Amino acid sequence: MPVITYRDALGAAIREEMQRDDRVFLMGEEVAVYQGAYKVSKGFLQEFGEMRVVDTPITELGFAGVGVGAAMVGLRPVIEFMTWNFALLAIDQVVNAAAKMLYMSGGQFKIPIVFRGPNGAALQLSAQHSQAWESWLAHIPGLKVIAPGTPYDAKGLLKSAIRDDNPVCFLEGEMLYNTKGEVPDEDYTIPIGKADLKREGDHCSIITHGKMVLVAMQAADQLAKEGIRLDVVDLRTIRPMDVEAITASVHKTNRAVVLEEGWEVCGVGAQVVDYIQRDCFDSLDAPVLRVHQADVPMPYAKGLERAAKPDLPKTIAAVRKVMYLD
């Protein structure tokens, strides 16, 4: 199987869907002439022309709304946000328009749209540019929220997102774009709402998604050397969440750590822990612990940023605690 980057996996997904369905178009800042702020749409302008690969002014509220309007009357927009931090300007269109149009219109107007872009922190970009928004978005009925951690999942899920008849928020990661993995050339999709067991083990579950999948896998590798076997559940989709995959894992391991990039309060992990306490109360051998960003805006200084972010040592410490090893 070819090994490609996460960036190229995303590019391949959009390209293939644009080739397959001429209602699909890509719109956003720097997607065309500049070949993508993060080069996901490299070569697209040349291949599809400027009607289908559209550079916008810096006007997120406006072009997100343009996407929703176009979707109301039958197109299938892929709207790129340079990062999700800037999507805050467009949140009215995502939440008040896209997410509830079908419901408000009594089922008459579906909104088949994908809002996508990098989410979460990169390196030293400080407070306004280092935020993980999945818990905000997942709060909204009517939206689907996806955060793939590997190139394979990125391609398969983005294709599903583009084919889905609902608004889908697709969260990528600047730090993921250069990561590599096996991705088949042929057409495949991954169902939205299905978690993936990335590693099987019976000592403790790690439930995670997005960029943190890599951290969980490292933790699994490292702890395996001490004979600790982690069950790594990659949610892949935050909404709808694969509750069965979570509870099946915890019933097996009786212990769990929930790892996410964003903040603790009302975070994705809080929802996961709720599902666990409802369904696995009698199986638990220890309180479930969470690993997440420190409860502060992201600082610039390198040392503080490191301290603020969830990482491998913090994840391992949480596992050891849950297993009563420390």
Partner 1 sequence: MLSMAKKKLEADTKDAARDTALLHSMLLQRRFEERTAEAYALGKIGGFCHLYIGQEAVSTGTLSMLRPDDYVITTYRDHGQAIARGMTPRAVMAELFGRQDGCVRGKGGSMHMFDANTNFLGGHGIVGGHVPLATGVGFAIKYRGGDQCIVCFMGESVVNTGAFHEALNMAALWKLPCVFIIENNRYGMGTSLERASAIHDIYERGAAYNMARQQCDGQDVFAVRAAVGEAVERARKEQHPTLLEIRTYRFMGHSMSDAVSGTYRTKAELEEYMKRDPITLLRQRMEANGTLTEEHLRAMDAEIKAVVQDAWDFADASPELPLEALYEDVYADTTT
Ligand X SMILES: Cc1ncc(C[n+]2csc(CCOP(=O)(O)OP(=O)(O)O)c2C)c(N)n1
According to the binding rule CB under 8 A, does residue 46 interact with partner 1?
no
Q: Give the active site residue among 16, 17, 29, 60.
A: 60
According to the binding rule CB under 8 A, does residue 275 interact with partner 1?
no
Single out the residue of 8, 16, 17, 29 in contact with partner 1 (rule: CB under 8 A): 29
Q: What does 126 interact with, of ligand X, partner 1, none (CB < 5 to 8 A by kind)?
A: partner 1
According to the binding rule CB under 8 A, does residue 57 interact with partner 1?
yes
According to the binding rule CB under 6 A, does residue 196 interact with ligand X?
no
CB nearer to ligand X: pick between 118 and 269 = 118
Rule CB under 8 A: which of 118-137 touch partner 1? 123-129
Are residues 32 and 56 in contact, defined by beta-carbon separation less than 8 angstroms? no
According to the binding rule CB under 8 A, does residue 222 interact with partner 1?
no
User: Which regions of the chain does DSSP assign to beta strands (E)?
Assistant: 3-5, 24-28, 53-55, 76-80, 114-118, 144-146, 168-172, 180-182, 196-199, 204-208, 230-234, 237-239, 256-263, 289-293
Asked about 60 being catalytic, the answer comes back as: yes
Question: What is the amino acid identity at position 50?
Answer: E
Residue 34 C-beta: closest distance to partner 1, Å = 4
The span of 82-90, 161-169, 171-179, 204-212 binding ligand X (CB under 6 A) equals 82-90
Are residues 127 and 182 in contact, defined by beta-carbon separation less than 8 angstroms? no
In angstroms, the CA 284 to CA 251 distance is: 8
Q: Fill in the DSSP letter of residue 131.
A: B
Binding mask 15-34 for ligand X (x = CB under 6 A): --------------x-----
CB nearer to partner 1: pick between 201 and 262 = 262
Single out the residue of 2, 297, 313, 325 in contact with partner 1 (rule: CB under 8 A): 297
Q: Fill in the DSSP letter of residue 311.
A: -
Asked about 292 being catalytic, the answer comes back as: no
What SS3 state is found at 90?
A: helix
DSSP-derived pairing of the beta strands 237-239 and 144-146 = antiparallel
DSSP-derived pairing of the beta strands 3-5 and 180-182 = antiparallel
The span of 72-80, 100-108, 182-190, 303-311 binding partner 1 (CB under 8 A) equals 303-311
Are residues 176 and 6 in contact, defined by beta-carbon separation less than 8 angstroms? yes
Q: Give the active site residue among 30, 129, 139, 264.
A: 129
Residue 179 C-beta: closest distance to partner 1, Å = 18
**Burial grade of 243 (CB within 10 A; 0-12, 13-18, 19 or more):** middle
Are residues 44 and 53 in contact, defined by beta-carbon separation less than 8 angstroms? yes
Binding residues for partner 1 (CB under 8 A):
29-30, 33-35, 37, 55-59, 61-62, 85-86, 88-89, 123-129, 294-297, 299-304, 307-308
Binding residues for ligand X (CB under 6 A):
29, 58, 60, 82, 86, 89
